[in-house]
Amino acid sequence: MFDVQKIRKDFPILNREVNGKPLVYLDNAATSHTPKQVMDAIVDYYSNYNANIHRGVHTLSQEATDKYEAARHKIQNHFNAAKSHEIIFTSGTTHSINLVANGFSTLLEKGDELLVSAMEHHSNIVPWQMLAERTGAILKVIPMSIKGELEMDAYVRLLSDKTKLVFCNHISNALGTINPIDEIIQKAHAVGAAVLIDGAQAAPHIKADVQKLDVDFYTVSAHKMCGPTGVGMLYGKEEWLNKLPPYQGGGEMIAEVTFEKTTYADLPHKFEAGTPNICGGIAFGAALDYMNDIGFEAIAAYEHELLEYATQKLLEIKGLKIYGTAKNKTSVISFNIEGVHPYDIGTILDKLGIAVRTGHHCAQPIMDFYKIPGTVRASFCFYNTKNEVDVLVEGVKKAAAMLK
């Protein structure tokens, strides 16, 4: 039995009021809230063993190093990576993607092709455009249907022996579509291309198994899955991480430095220059523990119930249109009301204590595809309730009546 009321007690922020109304937080696709258990890990770190890692002989440094590396192992186990050094700590998905895109500068030639899906977040578009500019590689787009599903036949036609890399999100933050990444990865590998999957939006909902997927790179941001901001991970297959050059130079990533020549440290340190977000990494591990204690199957089942309920209730509102109606989708609902600007709806909802996102959701090409300026996006987490869905629906009805 999924006890949402018990779970809500772990999230102090859910008790606050906004504009005199109980907070209804439906912006989880932008960032999720932090349970007490994760905050406790943060306080414990700064209260008891704050120290720089990997360098000190003293006790605090050793304790901090042990806990940080233990967090790396938790992440490894969670995503089922074969080796712990295939998990690189980063500041989040954006950093992870830039690290890989930068590395491929040395591996691409003019005329090589890169395939990007039509429903990417800007952080899975722009670093590749920059790479294409640097190398003369060509960026091609895998189209999507009006439902917000990738056109897999077109994808297969785009693949050739020129294709070097394919990148796609596991779940779209703007539409909620769960992409068929197994198939995307298999087909890319058949022509010898590597695949990076942006897992930022999937990790809060689905436990990905990187070995089973046979994915080359997978990226996650902790703050979307009950962890703090400023920390995340890049999973990379060992063979790829060995091929890529370091991203940043500095302390921690070296084996030996002289003014003539520097040799680099082994994985994962080669990609972890400077003092990392030690506390953040440890808290990321605590967030994974927290979510695994609830269980990803239970989370997925409950969120699916919320999605179905909210979809049905919202569609009862006259003039409301949902963007992203893929068969396989998660608890993200993007919508508009005919004749009303999404920003105005968002502003009225905020007055009612309801937090939604409005705008292009860092995915302008999707908005261009639908020929709209943006949408209102309600994204649900496992701590949301059907009662909150009702409050949202009433709020949207009120906003629509005021604005029409």
- Residues marked as catalytic: 362
Q: Is 169 in the site for ligand PLP (CB under 6 A)?
A: yes
Q: Is 374 in the site for ligand PLP (CB under 6 A)?
A: no
Q: Which residues contact 404 (CB under 8 A, 6 or more apart)?
A: 319, 337, 339, 340
| Residue from 35, 92, 236, 280 binding ligand PLP (CB under 6 A) | 92
| Ramachandran category for residue 359: left, alpha or beta (phi over 0 → left; psi -120 to 50 → alpha) | left
Whole-number Å distance between alpha carbons of 182 and 195:
11
Nearer to ligand PLP, 198 or 388 (CB): 198
Nearer to ligand PLP, 49 or 79 (CB): 79
Whole-number Å distance between alpha carbons of 179 and 329:
8
Residues 173 to 212 in contact with ligand PLP, rule: CB under 6 A: 173, 198, 200-201
Rounded to a whole number of angstroms, the minimum distance from the CB of residue 172 to ligand PLP is: 7
Nearer to ligand PLP, 280 or 353 (CB): 280
For residues 230 and 277, the answer to whether their CB atoms sit within 8 Å is: yes
Nearer to ligand PLP, 221 or 384 (CB): 221
Is the dihedral angle over the CA atoms 113, 118, 119, 122 positive or is it negative? Answer: positive
Q: Is 331 in the site for ligand PLP (CB under 6 A)?
A: no
Q: How many residues bind ligand PLP (CB under 6 A)?
A: 13
Nearest CA among 390, 354, 369 for reference residue 324: 369
Rounded to a whole number of angstroms, the minimum distance from the CB of residue 229 to ligand PLP is: 7
Q: Is 94 in the site for ligand PLP (CB under 6 A)?
A: yes
Is the dihedral angle over the CA atoms 364, 365, 366, 367 positive or is it negative? Answer: positive
* Token pair of 382 as six digits: 């496992």
Task: Give the count of beta carbons closer than 10 Å to the beta carbon of residue 91.
Answer: 17
Residues 212 to 241 in contact with ligand PLP, rule: CB under 6 A: 221, 224
Enumerate binding residues for ligand PLP (CB under 6 A). Answer: 92-94, 121, 123-124, 169, 173, 198, 200-201, 221, 224
